[in-house]
Structure 1
């Protein structure tokens, strides 16, 4: 398993259930998530991550997708996120995060699923909680920490 990767995009939205918009950098608050994002808060799914490799699978089906389209906070490259066990810690930019969930139940009426008959976020997206807060910028490295 690859132990390093990088952040392609940081994505944010003020309301739930909508596509997130890319930003240059974001502040990820300890035990809260991305400041200003609708999904942040004191729960186990503070930050959502999806690999650009998952986007490529959907692009192969003829759908042009940009980071944030799956409502993920961090679009990553180089790590097979869904292979990481729950409890794995990730050093991302200035932050330390812990994997809390792999995949999720797809919400009813997913636009991507309607368009192509499939959505990768429920299978390949992961969720983390912020253990140590800080800034994450596009291009920052991601390091899988061994326990």
Structure 2
């Protein structure tokens, strides 16, 4: 299966969910045009409160569609945009990508993967216990986060559902994703 975009979402106001759109425009160095989280510096409220001058490593939030099917099997109804993501994907194991991977979305846009999204308690607003489904402990005791991945826009462009996703791994030793 060729990796593809299944949905794109954005929101100009602070809200946990983001409405689906026919397309979004990624702006180099900023994020999703018109999205509340776009910018050179951090836009997430908790991070702004700590240090508003931090670089925004969370310009674009991507999440795999396969997660929604898994959660559905556990009794949770989650659809694209519900978890605040900008790009919903299919056919790619986002969590296995190393830091620095380049994702080519459609004909032009390129997003560099910066790390994992650290899910917050607001997720439980979609269903009691949903947060525990997205942050679990592996058999060895390590924390496994499945709230999606984050990236920065290296090359702008329009992204639409149905666009293919190309993957370019970084050179050298691969660094596993960590929360950003």
The answer for the alignment partner of 2:175 in structure 1 is none
For the aligned residue pairs, the C-alpha RMSD in angstroms reads: 1.9
Give the conservation status (yes or no) of the 8 Å contact 2:76–2:127: no
2:18 is matched with which residue? 20
Give the distance between the partners of 1:142 and 1:119, measured in 2 at CA: 26
* Greater share of residues in strand: 1
State the structure with more CA Rg.
2
Q: Is this contact kept in 2: 1:61–1:116, CA < 8 A?
A: no
**2:33 aligned partner:** 35
Quick check: 1:99 aligned with 2:97? no
> In structure 1, what is the Cα distance between the partners aligned to 2:100 and 2:39?
19
Aligned length: 144
CA contact (8 A) 1:113 1:119 kept: no
1:116 shift after superposition: 4.0
Instruction: Output the CA distance in 2 between the equivalents of 1:77 and 1:12.
Output: 18
Q: Normalising by the residue count of structure 2, what TM-score does the alignment of the two structures yield?
A: 0.73
Alignment counterpart, residue 74 of structure 2, candidates 61, 83, 88: 61
Tell me by how many angstroms 1:115 deviates. Answer: 5.3
CA distance change for structure 1 residues 132 and 67 in 2, over 3 Å: closer, same or farther? Answer: same
